[in-house]
Amino acid sequence: MTVGVWVLGDQLWPEQAALQTCAPPTPVIFIESHEWVRQRRYHAQKLVLVWSAMRHFAAELEAAGWQVTYAIAPTFAAPLQDWINTHQIREVRVMEPSDRPFRALLQQLQLPCRLTLVPNNHFLWSTAAFQEWAQNRKTLVLEYFYRAGRQRYNLLMENRKPVGDRWNYDSENRQPPKSGLKPPPPLEFAPTAITQAVIDTVAAGNFATYGQVQPFRWGVTRAQAQQALAHFLAHRLPQFGPYQDAMVAEHDTLWHSLLSPYLNLGLLQPMEVIEAAIAAYKEHHLPLNSVEGFIRQILGWREYMYGLYHFLPEDYGQSNYFQHQHPLPAFFWDSRQPIAMTCLRLVLTQVERSGYAHHIQRLMILANFALIAGFQPQAVKEWFHAVFIDAYDWVMQTNVLGMGLFADGGILASKPYAASANYIQRMSNYCQGCAYDPKQRFGDRACPFNVFYWNFLDRQRHRLQANGRMGLVLRNLDKLTTSERHALARQAEQWHHQHA
Ligand code: SF4
């Protein structure tokens, strides 16, 4: 019986589960479906990254003796039919997709042969293992899942205790930026001929994209992703910890790794990244707070997002705890439109330029503003999915709805990540020279983060007062007079009116 393997665009490594069940010269197919990518907007560089990485990986498999078919077509169905007929395939094997929409698409395909889903091996925790951990727990907070991961895989452990006798070095990893920080630049790659051909296709404007397609500086092969990992471990990881929450206008990404696009495509595997960080820690005596903070992002946060996405019911995606309904202002989609708020302008232009922002830029600038201004959660999630180069459904759903917007009412986060300009002024240099004053709450120069923050607390008080962790800020809200609260409501409405 002839078996064929269909390799999806985020399953690009030779040991992925479906390829592992076969050997060269088994027929393998890759498909770029133009109808599929027209269903939503993507960052122009995301299309280039995925398609170029697919084409490079297809060439590598061909060189290794697999019979590779590479199709560029309107739909998935037609090239699959042709390939099945040509090779007389009786069974198509696909590694289980990470995202639900693609699983649904597979179920709708009416192939003239058997379709076998091979369990996904792109994550350390299978969905079944996560379910076993999660079910019957009173709380699903990350910290306990992360500790379970450290124990389960015996990582940064000594005599069954965490190395350094602490699980978490967050308190050392929240330093505000001091002036003159000089992070080493991240490793960048010149486009290959294959990449340039994809850039030309995307630049031709046949797809509704977001952001700039060039300069494109991402790696597109496993070898380049490994170089990016080695460069991060040698040059950026040692300083990563203390400033991981800081933001400065002059350096987009500070000491962040920028490895998530490679991890999410399969060009790097989570355990190899974690083990490489631990090896560097031991060999070069790197600071534990940096190494632990980085490992928590992969062993903790990344696995937790994927596990929760499949554990929570499908209607989680429709959550809207605060009943927020405001549409996203147009400048979120096009930063050439005037944006007087310096922090938003800097982060939005950075995302347009590169498809990337680090976690605090995403959480405390973009998602925080969307939360306190009351933008509709599903529109915000769709925007995050469209603009980030490392975005997938499994990443964005719980990240944006749960962590960023508290739209699930507290399944992930113990309180909403809502903050005023105070946080941004402390953790960045964005406020210097801004048209708004981060200290003001009322009047023309009042920072919109302040107006919306206090108005959010006021509007949502009936929901927030049940949360014990909100007690202190609600007591501060009580210090405002009724006329001050009304003034904030008017300013908030005016802002929405001006940006409608
Ligand atoms: Fe952002 Fe307000 Fe600071 Fe301006 S003053 S950069 S709007 S936080």
Query: Tell me: the pLDDT tens digits for 154-189?
Result: 999 999 999 999 999 988 989 999 889 999 999 999
Query: Nearest residue CA, atom 8 of ligand 1?
Result: 421
Residue 267 has pLDDT above 90, yes or no: yes
Ligand 1: centre distance to CA 424 (Å): 7
pLDDT of residue 182: 92
pLDDT of residue 419: 98
Alpha-carbon gap, residue 164 to 288, rounded angstroms? 8
pLDDT of residue 170: 87
Helix-then-strand count for the chain, H and E = 24, 9
Average pLDDT over residues 87-104: 97
3-state secondary structure of 461: helix
Give residue for tokens 């355990």. 271
Alpha-carbon gap, residue 193 to 60, rounded angstroms? 15
**Nearest atom in ligand 1 to 424's CA:** 8
Dump pLDDT digits (tens) for 32-52. Answer: 999 999 999 999 999 999 999
For residue 435, CA distances in Å to 128, 333, 347, 417 come to 51, 21, 16, 25
pLDDT of residue 224: 98
Dump pLDDT digits (tens) for 116-129. Answer: 999 999 999 999 99
CA angle 179, 182, 187 (to 5 degrees): 150
Alpha-carbon gap, residue 72 to 75, rounded angstroms? 9
- Of 132, 133, 394, the residue nearest 263 (C-alpha): 394
Ligand 1: centre distance to CA 436 (Å): 6
**Nearest atom in ligand 1 to 437's CA:** 5
Tokens of 351: 């995302």
Average pLDDT over residues 297-324: 97
Dump pLDDT digits (tens) for 190-224. Answer: 999 999 999 999 999 889 999 999 999 999 999 99
Ligand 1: centre distance to CA 360 (Å): 15
Alpha-carbon gap, residue 239 to 236, rounded angstroms? 6
**Nearest atom in ligand 1 to 438's CA:** 5
Which one of 344, 346, 424 would you pick to mutate in the ligand 1 pocket, going by the greatest count of ligand atoms within 8 A of its CB?
Answer: 424
Which one of 365, 437, 449 would you pick to mutate in the ligand 1 pocket, going by the greatest count of ligand atoms within 8 A of its CB?
Answer: 449
Surface-to-core class of residue 81, CB atoms within 10 Å of its CB (0-12 exposed, 13-18 middle, 19+ buried): middle
Query: Nearest residue CA, atom 6 of ligand 1?
Result: 431
Which one of 434, 451, 454 would you pick to mutate in the ligand 1 pocket, going by the greatest count of ligand atoms within 8 A of its CB?
Answer: 434
Which one of 343, 422, 442 would you pick to mutate in the ligand 1 pocket, going by the greatest count of ligand atoms within 8 A of its CB?
Answer: 343
Ligand 1: centre distance to CA 84 (Å): 57
pLDDT of residue 460: 98
Q: Is the peptide bond before 329 cis (omega within 30 degrees of 0)?
A: no
Query: Nearest residue CA, atom 7 of ligand 1?
Result: 341
pLDDT of residue 1: 73
Alpha-carbon gap, residue 252 to 428, rounded angstroms? 11
Ligand 1: centre distance to CA 419 (Å): 12
Alpha-carbon gap, residue 421 to 364, rounded angstroms? 10
Reported confidence tier of residue 500, pLDDT bands at 50, 70, 90: confident
- Other C-beta atoms closer than 10 Å to the C-beta of 138 total 5
Residue 335 has pLDDT above 90, yes or no: no
Average pLDDT over residues 90-106: 97
**Nearest atom in ligand 1 to 341's CA:** 7
Alpha-carbon gap, residue 254 to 182, rounded angstroms? 8
Q: 29: part of which helix (H) or strand (E)?
A: strand 27-33
Residue 336 has pLDDT above 90, yes or no: no
Residue 27 has pLDDT above 90, yes or no: yes
| Overall pTM surpassing 0.85 (yes/no) | yes
Which residues of 339-492 form beta strands (DSSP E)? none
Residue 99 has pLDDT above 90, yes or no: yes
Residue 372 has pLDDT above 90, yes or no: yes
Cα-based torsion angle of the residue sequence 133, 403, 269, 150 in order, rounded to the nearest 10 degrees? -40
For residue 130, CA distances in Å to 123, 124, 290, 427 come to 11, 10, 27, 34
Ligand 1 proximal residues by C-beta, below 6 Å: 341-343, 421, 424-425, 430-431, 434, 436, 438, 447-449
Ligand 1: centre distance to CA 383 (Å): 22
pLDDT of residue 408: 96
pLDDT of residue 14: 97
Average pLDDT over residues 235-257: 94
pLDDT of residue 379: 98
When the pLDDT of each residue in the chain is averaged and rounded to a whole number, the result is 96
Tokens of 27: 């027929």
- Of 17, 28, 29, the residue nearest 120 (C-alpha): 17
**Strand pairing category for 161-162 and 157-158:** antiparallel
Q: What is the DSSP string of 417-452?
A: ----HHHHHHHBSTTTT-SSBTT--SSTTB-HHHHH
